[in-house]
Amino acid sequence: MKLKISSAIISTLLLAGQASAITLYEDEQNKFDVGGVFVLDAFQPVWGEDDIFSATRSILNLGFERQLQYGWTLDAKFEWDQFLNNPTSGSSNFRNRLGYVTINNDELGSLRFGKQWSAYHDLARYMDNLIIIDPDATPIYSEGTDGGFAATGRGDNLVAYRYSNSGVNVSAHYGFTSNGESGSFEDENNQVQSDTVKRDYNYALSTSYDFDSGLSLGVAYLENKVEVAQASEVNGLEDGDKQTALTVGGQYVAGGLKVAAVYTKGENIHKAGLQGAPRAEWADANAVDVYAHYAFGSGLRPYAYASHVDFDGENGVDGDRQVYAVGLSYAFTPKTVLSFEAKRNELNEFSGEPGRTDNGGGFNFAYVF
C-alpha cells in the first residue's frame, strides 16, 4: 500500500536544516524535548568540474519549557551541528546554530535573548525553502554562513520582541557586537595584515498579516552598521558603512501548495559576482525572487525558484544576476526525505565583463530523529 503523508508535514520536514524534537519528559509545569536531523548531501556548483562540496552533518537540539503563573512561560533552546567536513573553508566543523532563552506572556508577547532567528527572517522566511542552494535575491544567507553577522538568518547576540494576535504579527530585534568577515591588507611597512569586520549595532523591524484564506503579506527593514578598524575596506565594506535591506513580500499556502514572492532593496547586503563565489564584494542592488511548490500526499514535492538581482552601479559594481532552480523531494516516511536540486546562474554585463553562466546541482538525504 502506498504511503500517505499529510502535505503539511511534508512541507515542514523537507526543510532539512530544521531539526525536529520529541518530548522526553513532561509534567504540569515542565517540559523537556530533544531531537535532531542527520543530513547527507553533495553539491557540484559547476557540472563537469572537479569541485564537489558536502555539508554532511548531524544536528542536535535540546528544548526546555516551564509554566509560570498568570499566563507566563519560560523556555530555552540550544541547537548545534557537527559537520564531517565544513564546506566553508577555515570554519570549525562544530557550530552553534541556536542558543536562546525566552520569556512569554499570552497577552503581551515574547522577549527572547541569544542566537535566534531574527525579526528580519520572520518575513524573509517566505523564501527560505530551497534544499541545496540558498535564496539569492532575499539576502538571508548572503554571508555564505547562517546569516549571523548581519542578522538576516540565525542572528548572533540578539534581543527580540514578538507579538501575534488575530493574524497580525509584529517583531523587532536589536543586535549587539559580533564578528563578520576577515580580509587582508598591507600596512605601512608593506607587511600583510588581517582585519575583521565587526558589528557596531544591528536592528530590524518586521510586520505581517495572515489572512484566513492562507495569504500572508508583510514588510521588514534591517540595518547593520559595521566597524573596520585597520583596513581601508573588507570585501567592499568600509568603516561606518551600513548594510540595509527593505523587504516586502507575500506568500499563499493552501493544502500542499505554496507560492511566494519577495522584493528587496538592499545596500551592501547582496554579494556581487556569481552566487557563492569566494570573497565577492558587498554591493547595492534591487532584487526580486519567486518560489512555488506542491506537496502531494504520496510524499512527492516538486518545486521551482527564480531570482533577479540588479546591481545599481555604486562603486563600479553594475550588471545583473539571475538564479534558477528546480527540485524534487520525496518523503519515504514523515522522517526520511530525499531531495534532488539543479540550479543555473547567469551573470550579465557585470562591471563591464562578458556574461557568464554556470549550471550545477546535487542531492540531500535527511533523516529526522
Report how many domains make up the chain.
Answer: 1
How far is C-alpha 252 from the geometric centre of its chain's CA atoms?
A: 20
User: Given a cut of 50, is residue 9 above it in pLDDT?
Assistant: no
Answer whether residue 51 is part of any domain: yes
Q: Which CB contacts under 8 angstroms, 24+ apart, belong to 225-228?
A: 225/199, 225/200, 225/201, 226/180, 226/197, 226/198, 226/199, 226/200, 227/197, 227/198, 227/199, 227/200, 228/195, 228/197, 228/198
Q: Are 11 and 331 in contact (CB under 8 A)?
A: no
Answer whether residue 204 is part of any domain: yes
Q: By C-alpha distance, which of 17, 87, 82, 92 is closest to 52?
A: 87
Question: Which of the residue ranges 170-174, 221-225, 281-285, 353-357 would you say has the lowest mean pLDDT?
Answer: 353-357
Answer whether residue 353 is part of any domain: yes
Answer whether residue 103 is part of any domain: yes
Answer whether residue 37 is part of any domain: yes
pLDDT at 92: 66
Question: Which of the residue ranges 4-8, 162-166, 216-220, 280-284 would you say has the lowest mean pLDDT?
Answer: 4-8
Answer whether residue 1 is part of any domain: no
pLDDT digits 0-9 by tens, 278-332:
457 899 999 999 999 999 999 999 999 999 999 987 777 788 999 999 999 999 9
Domain range holding 292? 7-368
The proportion of the chain whose per-residue pLDDT surpasses 70, expressed as a percent, equals: 88
pLDDT at 98: 96
pLDDT at 277: 54
From residue 126, how far is each of 96, 123, 292 by CA, in Å?
Answer: 24, 6, 11
CA 135 – CA 271 distance, rounded (Å): 12
Domain of 319, CATH number, reads: 2.40.160.10
Q: By C-alpha distance, which of 279, 240, 321, 341 is closest to 14?
A: 341
CA 180 – CA 185 distance, rounded (Å): 16
Q: How confident is the model at residue 10 (pLDDT cuts 50, 70, 90)?
A: very low
The average pLDDT across 269-275 equals 79
Answer whether residue 164 is part of any domain: yes
Grid look-up 522526553 returns: 24
User: Given a cut of 90, is residue 157 above it in pLDDT?
Assistant: yes
CA 255 – CA 233 distance, rounded (Å): 48
Q: Are 238 and 228 in contact (CB under 8 A)?
A: yes
Answer whether residue 275 is part of any domain: yes
User: Given a cut of 70, is residue 265 above it in pLDDT?
Assistant: yes
The conformation of residue 355, written as its DSSP 8-state character, comes to P
317 vs 202 pLDDT, higher one = 202
